[in-house]
Structure 1
Amino acid sequence: MEKSQGTPHYDAMRAASLADAALDPLAQWDPAWIESFMALSEDTQTNDVLDPKLVALIRLNIDVTATHLYAPGVRRHVRAALKLGATRAQILEVFKLASVVGIHACALGVPILEEELAHAGLPDEPAPLAYTPVCDQVRESGMFNPLWETIYRWDPQYLEKFLAMGLGLWRDNILPPLWIEFLCIAGDAAITHLYSHGTQRHIKAALELGATRRQILEVLKIVSLQGIEACELAVPLLDAECSEHAHAKR
């Protein structure tokens, strides 16, 4: 496609591989709008508030998480992260961290189930006591989510196995602990998830690790840019349908 005219911000973002070619038709159809978005995006993604590699990993995390699963973005951000020096192990760590988001089903649903059992007058029987060293470690570290208390009481072995899968991500030093908290903030605040309890917990943890307000705000601003993926997905479809419609009318 011929290079768009009068779109310096978009052209700069495309040259830096920070904007997708899928948006090229939009740059021709509505250059003023794409410029306004890219001016915002360029400022957020090219400043020095966060490490550029972390920015790529944040964008990768919100695209790969089960609440979104946006494959074109995953591929683009994997490439960007590798180009910026991320290792395969670090990128895989993002995938594993995104997998741990599944516990939110229990964090959200189990307290509701507990409440409804009480309303229905049904028994709330705890499971037998079990050996749960990982759960104990998470408690001692201050990372145990109070919303997990009921699932621990009902099925401690399930929670033990789930936390055993996730705890190492905070301890294996593949990614810095603060980066992990930033990634968790992004995943929980993502527009396809909007999990307020987790967002608050991880903002608190990031602040305790020394994060600044400006850094956390930058994470949230990056997440807000996820909205452009509506155009990345739909503009090529609209372009193709318009072309087919025009051809059919001939």
Structure 2
Amino acid sequence: MNQTPNYNALRAAGIFDESLDAMAEWSPEWTEKFMALVQDTQLNNVLDPKLVALIRLNIDVTATHLYAPGVQRHIREALRLGATRAEILEVFKLASVVGIHACALGVPILEKELADAGLADDAVQAPATPVCDAVRAQGMFNLLWETIYRWDPVYLENFLKMGFGLWKDGILPPLWIEFLCIAGDATVTHMWAHGTQRHIEAALALGASREQILEVLKIVSLQGIEACEMAVPMLDEILKDIE
């Protein structure tokens, strides 16, 4: 494996495991070109290394991807870098909140189709919604939630009870949460433009630099190598079976 010094270094650092060994053997030049990208994003200290591990974990654990080998590897890497169980669990909770995007996308479409069909979309009388009110007061209420609030305020209140506290419980810094949300929304398996924009705006308001946000997006772009991480071992096994 002397033809792949960058890959060897990243393997030794625990950023990759044996799943790409065959790739490095079969296509060392291409592997090294990809690893040069990884070296540029994973080892440059623009972001805290623990945050990088949590971003990679968030990408793989989110419902739009659910890539179990990556989840396991990034949990180990995050623990090695000093992450606590509570911090890792916070990433899982944050990834769960992405479910609201089904309503953020679908409810405005339903609203339009009801209007086009001449059907009623009467509002429901809203009970007390203190969490929704607090989210509004802090400027965090998404305009795409307005219709679901008119139709089913209890549902939105309960959903925000689950999610809003993650910004307030102090387990992860608010800026790290915004970086994680940018990663989850920009990931190639989701590409939720509205959320990506909102969380970039929030990160900038919290003092993030262009370089930091660009680094998050560069880390997300590396998700594509998981095609090889998953498929190369399968190809290797099948080739051995038919030899």
Separation (CA, whole Å) in 2 of partners of 1:153 and 1:134: 15
Unpaired runs of 5+ residues, structure 1, are none
Structure 1 residue ranges (4+ consecutive) displaced by more than 6 angstroms after TM superposition: none
Quote how far apart the aligned CAs of 1:130 are.
1.2
1:229 counterpart (226, 229, 233): 226
**46, 63, 80: which one aligns with 1:66:** 63
Number of the residue aligned with 1:17: 14
Alignment of 1:187-202 (within 5 A): 187-202=184-199
Shift of 1:137: 0.2
- 2:217 pairs, out of 209, 215, 220, with 220
Cα distance in 1 for partners of 2:113, 2:101 equals: 18
Displacement of 1:20 in angstroms is: 2.2
- 1:109 maps to 106
- Calculate the TM-score normalised by the size of structure 2: 0.99
TM alignment of 1:15-94, pairs within 5 A: 15-94=12-91
Cα distance in structure 2, aligned partners of 1:102 and 1:129: 23
Cα-Cα RMSD: 0.5
The Cα offsets for residues 196-246 of structure 1, whole Å up to 9 and x where unpaired, read as 000000000000000000000000000000000000000000001111122
Residue in 1 that maps onto 2:120: 123
Residue 5 of structure 1, CA deviation: 2.5
Name the SS for the 2:10 alignment partner: helix
Which residue of structure 2 lines up, in the alignment, with residue 203 of structure 1?
200
TM-score by length of 1: 0.96
Q: Sequence identity of aligned pairs in percent?
A: 73
User: Alignment length, in residue pairs?
Assistant: 243
Distance 1:175 1:191 in 2: 24
Deviation at residue 189 of structure 1 after TM alignment: 0.1
The runs of 5 or more residues in structure 2 that have no matched partner are: none
| Alpha-carbon displacement from aligned partner over 1:55-112 (angstroms, at most 9, x marks no partner) | 0000000000000000000010000000001000000000000000000000000000
Alpha-carbon distance in structure 2 between the residues aligned to 1:176 and 1:198: 19
1:172 matched residue in structure 2: 169
- Distance of 1:42 and 1:76 partners within structure 2: 18
Q: Distance in 2 between matches of 1:43 and 1:123?
A: 54
CA distance in structure 2 between the partners assigned to 1:78 and 1:190 by the alignment? 19
1:190 to partner: Cα distance: 0.3
Cα distance in 2 between the residues matched to 1:114 and 1:93: 33
